[in-house]
Structure 1
Amino acid sequence: MMEVYTIGHSNRSLSDFISILKSYGVKAVVDVRRFPTSRKFPYFKKEVLKEELRKNGLKYFWLGELLGGFRKGGYKGHIGTEEFKLGMRKLVEAISRETTAILCSELLWFKCHRRFIADELANLGYNVIHIIDKRKAVVHRPKDRDRSLVRINGFPKSGPIAWPVED
């Protein structure tokens, strides 16, 4: 079973954030923040974070346009849309290449739309692990293991996937 991590940057320092990622063997970060910025922590702004991760040997991809939160009608309504399915295909492609962490701002996944993405990945057979810190991580347990909307709608589809996602 392939592993994938999730992490929230929360109020961590940049050095702690990168150190935590490295402690789990993460090689790539897929940012699913719809608005990849932070007023309080400017080092978590998309362009700054991308460069800092690169300097530390980590890749950065942004899928917030396809998988980000703050959806009209709520995130559950976004699951199963063509936009969501495209985002999931790109995410699965990233995960298949190297050890990946899915990033958002919220420390705890159950307070974040990462929980819905994690449900879909778990339903597809991935072992999803939510990173809390260097010493604590939690294995994801989907609420509805056999009813993935993505799977019902024919995911995954074969064919070429445009990757990597760059701005």
Structure 2
Amino acid sequence: MQTVFTVGHSNRSLEDFIQLLTAHGVEFLADVRTAPRSRRNPQFNKDTLPDALAPCGITYRHFPELGGWRTPRPDSPHRGLTSPGFRGYADYMETPEFDRAVRVIIELAERYRLAYMCAEALPWRCHRWLLSDALTVRGLRVEHILTPTRRQAHRLTPGVQVQGITLIYAG
């Protein structure tokens, strides 16, 4: 079973973030932020991060197709997700665009030790959690990087209904 990792850059220094990635052997960083920049933490901007990671042997790629901040559909079946942003992301997970991007992540994970990144440190407060559900039902093992020495194995969101690779967060 292929393993992928998730990580949130939070307000870490660039040095601490790189140490976090290297401590877990990450070779490929997939940026799943919708907007790959930060005023508060410019060290994680798309313009500078690839050059900072390259000397450490880490490849960077932005995946806007997997970014959060999606608007929920009025007829969304994901009523169990109280956050409109999460509900919108769950709706988006049903699209061909999402499926194509996830397939690319899976292919890359077969060649590299891959982590996908967003800004939020806590995975359960980020769309990475729902993306982790999607990868889990596709047969990948997902682990959330928390510290240089600690990871947490992903577990499907309680109450989610799994129908093949389709997830319904009905509540």
Report the AA paired with residue 52 of structure 1: A
Partner of 1:164: none
Instruction: Give distance in 2, aligned partners of 1:116 and 1:33.
Output: 14
The TM-score with structure 1 as length reference comes to 0.85
Partner of 2:109: 95
Partner of 1:78: 92
Report the AA paired with residue 9 of structure 1: H
Residue from 129, 133, 143 that aligns with 1:129: 143
Instruction: Give distance in 2, aligned partners of 1:7 and 1:103.
Output: 5
2:38 aligned with 1:38: yes
2:125 aligned with 1:111: yes
2:38 aligned with 1:23: no
Instruction: Give distance in 1, aligned partners of 2:143 and 2:45.
Output: 24
Partner of 2:162: 147
Q: Structure 2: where are the runs of 5+ without partners?
A: 73-87
Instruction: Give distance in 1, aligned partners of 2:155 and 2:141.
Output: 9
The TM-score with structure 2 as length reference comes to 0.83
Instruction: Give distance in 2, aligned partners of 1:68 and 1:148.
Output: 23
Describe the superposition over 1:19-43 as per-residue Cα deviations: whole angstroms up to 9, x where unpaired: 1101111100000000000101111
Aligned residues: 151
Q: Is the 8 A contact 2:23 2:149 kept in 1?
A: no
Identity of aligned residues (%): 37
2:147 match: secondary structure: coil
Q: Is the 8 A contact 1:31 1:62 kept in 2?
A: yes
2:7 aligned with 1:7: yes
Q: CA deviation at 1:145?
A: 7.2
1:43 match: secondary structure: helix
Q: CA deviation at 1:86?
A: 1.2
Structure whose residues are more often strand by fraction? 2
